[in-house]
Structure 1
Amino acid sequence: MTTSMRFLGIGCGVCILLVAAVPAVTGPKPVDEEATVANDPPSSGNLLENGDFETPDPTKSGPARWQKMDGLVYRWTTDPKAPARGKVLRIDTSVDEAHAVRWWVDRYVRDRPLDRAPQKVAGSGYSHVGGNIGGFCWSSHFIPVKPGGAYRVYVDARGPAGKVFIRGYEKKVPVFFGDEQPLVQQVFREARGDPTHDENGRPIRYRLRFRYQSWIPVGGSDEWKTYTHRKPRHPNGNEITEDVRFIRIMLYPYWPPGEYWFDNVRVVEVEDSE
């Protein structure tokens, strides 16, 4: 188990010290590999619904089958450099961290509408989302996987180098903003006035829920490119003891602070020998 500590301001001069215990995650060590450009990505067989971000959710404020937008760090938009792509995701990690967290409390705890999103305030030094929080995963809904199945992920990306995580789950769990970010969930708990300790006086900690994790590197170019990985991923292969039945794709930009663009996320089943 590892423990991380952060100071996050949520307004009114309040600064909360967060201590988040992160349980160990089983599974193979993430493959350390360079970003691999896919010259001929598949045109069919995508297991991820709405991986192209074109279908809106019922509120028409973001893409269906993905986490809700915040309208500040995360924007469902078009790329002015490539408008023919249609809808894409833009994540700006240069937003000031305290500014972003205050808005997240307003948006996701106090239910402020998306059109009330504040104007960007840029961070400095390490005071932005890509510095102190250390990046932020924006995730899809769940994709069923087969026992022993092999999978390959493809992602279109533009901007600084980032990561795409593949996380495995034994069952479907509720999907909400920051649902794999213990520090953010602790801020939300404080803002709601929820108990911080159980009946025995022990701190109540937000627990991560995934049982498998792997990642692939993407980006590093100001031009749109399609990225993949050399080795297929096996969310519940013979080396995994957990009964992983679902995966989620999580887009993870962090450093340097700036704008990261994503589109056309694809998950395809492949032969194990690929």
Structure 2
Amino acid sequence: MRFFAGMVAAIGAACLTAGARAQDTAPASQAAAKAYVVVFDFADGADGKLGPALSDSLRLKLRRNERYEVIDRLTTQEFARPLGADADRADALKLMAEKLGANLGLYGTVRKDGAKITADVVCLDLTGPQPAQWRKTFSDDTERARGVIATAIVEAVTGGPDWKPPEYGDETEPTAKELGKPLNANGGFDAGAAGWEAPDNVGTFLVPGPPGRGTILRVRTDLERDPWLEYRKALRMGKADLSRPPQVGRDTSYDSVAALEGVHFAGEWIRATPGRRYWLTADHNGQGGAKVFVKGFKRTEHAMDGLPESSLAAMGMTPEQFANLPPEKRKELVEADAKKNPMRYVRECYRWYLNCKDAKGEWKHLAAPFPPRGGLPADVEWLQIQIYSYWPPGEYLWDNVHLYADPRQKAPLAEEKARTPHFGKTSDVVERETAQPRTGPASNPAD
């Protein structure tokens, strides 16, 4: 757990005396000092969940700003209970200075009246030459009221607009002439399974489409899970025949394929170009739970520690037999198989998807660029399109799934990392990184 050491005693005293005299003044953004932020859990006059949820939203949004180092929720809760807007200011300042080492604090009260959410918020700002504070009320009654209020509070703290991530529709789709030739083969399925995995004829089918569409991909997710998984494994092991698929029963329960794995349909490998942006397009007709993934892969030594299941089956060897071989022989078999089947030894290192909303029986065309910011990361060697259908159980139809190089891009772009700290990192990595001493207000030698 991250721990933020206390501020020196002199700073703490100044916070308590000068802070008590502070009047409503300019926003925190006018100060140039680094801000160490504590967002206390808000007191909740609603259901007991809204206050902490709003506090978490504020922590996440403020972390995206490089100027703020935000104390995590668990550390905050260890030292402080929820603070309402009418809490004693001196108590809040004391917690900030003596317990949490923070120079900017937020606390408040949230209440709900029907669809309307209202938050009374207090900000204590000790980052500038003179302490400052404000108290403001924020309210909203829309479907995303908590997010709207969190954005407004952050903008009041920073004195400027909140950072807004790229969204679907921000960029207009290039024309067909501008896009040119797709990078993937047979995105319209009119050449059968060319460019794609073979349909299994249980969950995936290539069928004639409606007038004007030619061949389309039909996917079923309302399947009994265990028989379907057994069939898919038999196909990987070369022990099943696509021309004689089993009869798998229909299942629309939470034990079905739709509720658990869903159905993937993968395209062939496409050589990636780091620094490039792409456009993905798709026509979709389904009930809601569907995406088209573009996944990036790279070869890694971590994949060279054993034989894939399909390679073992091709060699007529069980995992136990492989494990009992001398280390030199195992290494020899792995290296030989990696040369023969190199794509079995790549691992996913990038992921993006086109979210396909409920089409309600009508064909919808969707298109978006990726990466949303910057260019493709340098470690991505291969791309693969994976059409994914899942919940609710039923039928999903697909056509014209195409990948293009972005015709508007003039030069390679550097990768832009996620703005949220520690995004994509495992907990052990985060713990090692956050264990390092921080810069900022000095630690109290007495602590």
TM range (shorter): 0.5 to 0.7
Residue 398 of structure 2 is matched in structure 1 by 262
Change (3 A) 1:33 1:199: farther
Matched positions, count: 213
Q: Which has the higher contact order (CA 8 A, sep 6+)?
A: 1
Report whether the alignment pairs 1:136 with 2:273.
Answer: no
Q: Name the SS for the 2:347 alignment partner.
A: coil
Partner of 1:73: 203
Shift of 1:114: 1.8
Match of 2:162 in 1: none
Q: 1:152 aligns with which of 279, 287, 291?
A: 279
Matched residue of 2:405: which SS? strand
Are the structure 2 counterparts of residues 41 and 250 from structure 1 closer, same or farther at C-alpha, using a change threshold of 3 Å?
Answer: farther
Following the alignment from structure 2 to structure 1, what is the Cα–Cα distance between the partners of residues 278 and 267? 16
| DSSP 3-state at the match of 1:130 | coil
Deviations 1:222-263 (A, max 9, x none): 11121012x43279937x352x23211111111111111111
2:367 aligns to what? 228
Q: Which consecutive residues of structure 2, in runs of 5 or more, have no partner in the other structure?
A: 1-164, 300-307, 326-343, 411-447
Counterparts of 1:20-39 in structure 2, within 5 Å, are: none
- Within a 5 Å distance, the mapping from 1:199-210 to structure 2 comes to 209-210=347-348
Deviation at 1:155, TM superposition (A): 0.5
Distance change >3 Å, CA 250–CA 55, structure 1 → 2:
same
Is the 1:70–1:114 Cα contact (8 Å) retained in structure 2?
yes
Pairing 1:152-231 to 2, within 5 Å after superposition: 152-161=279-288, 162-170=290-298, 194-195=318-319, 198=323, 209-221=347-359, 222-229=361-368, 231=369
> How do residues 2-13 of structure 1 correspond to structure 2 at under 5 angstroms?
none
**Structure 2 letter corresponding to 1:225:** K
RMSD: 3.6
The answer as to 2:176 corresponding to 1:42 is yes
Corresponding residue to 2:385 among 242, 246, 249: 249
| C-alpha deviation, 1:73, in angstroms | 0.3
CA contact (8 A) 2:216 2:398 kept: yes
Normalised by the length of structure 2, the TM-score is: 0.42
**Which one has the bigger helix percentage?**
2
Q: Which residue of 2 aligns with 1:52?
A: 188
Larger radius of gyration: 2
Per-residue Cα deviation, 1:66-99 (whole angstroms, up to 9, x for no partner): 11221100111123xx143111111101111112
Richer in strand (by share):
1
Q: How big is the shift at 1:123?
A: 1.4
Quote how far apart the aligned CAs of 1:143 are. Answer: 1.8
CA contact (8 A) 2:294 2:385 kept: yes
Shift of 1:117: 1.0
Instruction: Structure 1 unaligned segments of length 5 or more: list them.
Output: 1-30, 57-62, 172-184, 201-205
